[in-house]
Amino acid sequence: MPDQPPRPEWAPADAGPEFASRVMPGAAGPSAAFTPSPKRRTLSIDDYVAGIEAGDRAVLARAITLIESDAPRHHGEAREVVNRILPRTGRAVRIGITGIPGAGKSTFIEAFGLHLCGLGHKVAVLAVDPSSTLTRGSVLGDKTRMEQLSRHPSCFIRPSPSGGTLGGVARKSRETMLACEAAGFDVILVETVGVGQSETTVRSMVDFFLLLAITGAGDELQGMKRGIMELADAIVINKADGDNKPRAESTRQQYEMAIHYLQPATDGWKTATRTCSALTGEGVPQVWTMIEDFRRTTSENGVLETRRRHQTLEWMHALLEEGLRARFLGDPQIAARREKLQAEVLAGRLSAGAAVEALLDHTHPPA
């Protein structure tokens, strides 16, 4: 394994292109991540690990495909790759971005990502999109949505994995995030659409959670779920440009008042409210300054480290639950027994509780 590159703790704003070529030798070339050659050599685990650590985008993309694969034969290999790259992960700033469709997420990520690339950062954009799981039609992560950014040599965009449960998508996205970090990306943007459970899932993967909001026709806050506001470290009112500027500012003030009554998402950090225009770029650099400030504050008071530790544990528990469910429900003996018990329940001869107990006792007799 090559030596650990002398990479700074995080976000080396002054690192410049020299840093980029050292950490990511393939970074200067065009984005070839999604154009696999017709005759691809099979990669060994060593190849995956070495390729990722050398910042080879083609290998990174293939590693992510392996991580996303639902084929059981790939699971062990993916797990091994993730385990081997683990020591090189954890240095990136992890940012979640949510907002209703039309709030301007992709426009914002394009402007924000280009700003970060301009500062010398390596930006990976991932998506957690439950709609692509349910309908196979993706709301997020479409590469064409961020045209300029997707062509930038310092950026890597990966659409939401499709298929499986939200839990499955979350597992894949989390491991993809780790692979990107090991490949030298130092800012990870995880985009999700504001439709329920997915925000909680993304919140549990990131350091900083940003809610992108917009001005509506009065009463803006009524439609906004309190729960989502409580997840946010910042509420940024987008589209503060032209005639809309004063309204965006008054929306911001409404949010500012509303958050007084809410529990902040992060200990020691007051949920911030800002306005910006993803279209003109006004206010976009200030969002990054705010996140740097957050990072400094939470590093100094230990909240960041505590959060990351909790997230890892939460992660382990989620994987355990997923594994237990898959093993239990995938067992043919249990499936057969379940069928029988189900028929009994349907016929009204057995209560649901008694059926479940009988099923569980079969594999785990009570002590």
| Binding interface with ligand GDP (CB under 6 A) | 99, 101-107, 238-239, 241, 277-279
Q: Which is nearer to ligand GDP, 26 or 104 (CB)?
A: 104
Task: Give the residue with the Cβ less far from ligand GDP, 59 or 100.
Answer: 100
Nearer to ligand GDP, 50 or 279 (CB): 279
- Confirm if 108 and 116 have CB atoms less than 8 A apart: no
Q: How far is the CB of 104 from ligand GDP (least distance, A)?
A: 3
Beta carbon of residue 265, minimum distance to ligand GDP (angstroms, whole number): 21
User: In the complex, what is the shortest distance from the CB of residue 332 to ligand GDP, in angstroms, rounded to a whole number?
Assistant: 44
Backbone φ, ψ for residue 235 (5° rounding): -115, 115
Mind giving me the DSSP string for 60-81? HHHHHHHHH---HHHHHHHHHH
Q: Which is nearer to ligand GDP, 49 or 248 (CB)?
A: 248
DSSP E strand stretches across the chain: 93-99, 123-128, 155-158, 187-193, 208-213, 234-237, 272-275
* CA-closest candidate to residue 172, choices 315, 40, 351, 73: 315
**Closest residue to ligand GDP: CB criterion:** 104
Residue 125 buriedness (CB in 10 A; 0-12 / 13-18 / 19+): buried
For ligand GDP, which is the closer residue by CB, 61 or 111? 111
Query: Residue 178 Cβ, how far from ligand GDP at the closest point, in Å?
Result: 25
The answer to whether 360 and 350 have CB atoms below 8 angstroms apart is no
CB of 212 to ligand GDP, least distance (A): 7
In angstroms, the CA 89 to CA 85 distance is 7
Considering beta carbons, is residue 12 or 104 the nearer one to ligand GDP?
Answer: 104
- CB neighbourhood size of 166 (10 A): 17
How near is the Cβ of 240 to ligand GDP at its closest, in Å?
7
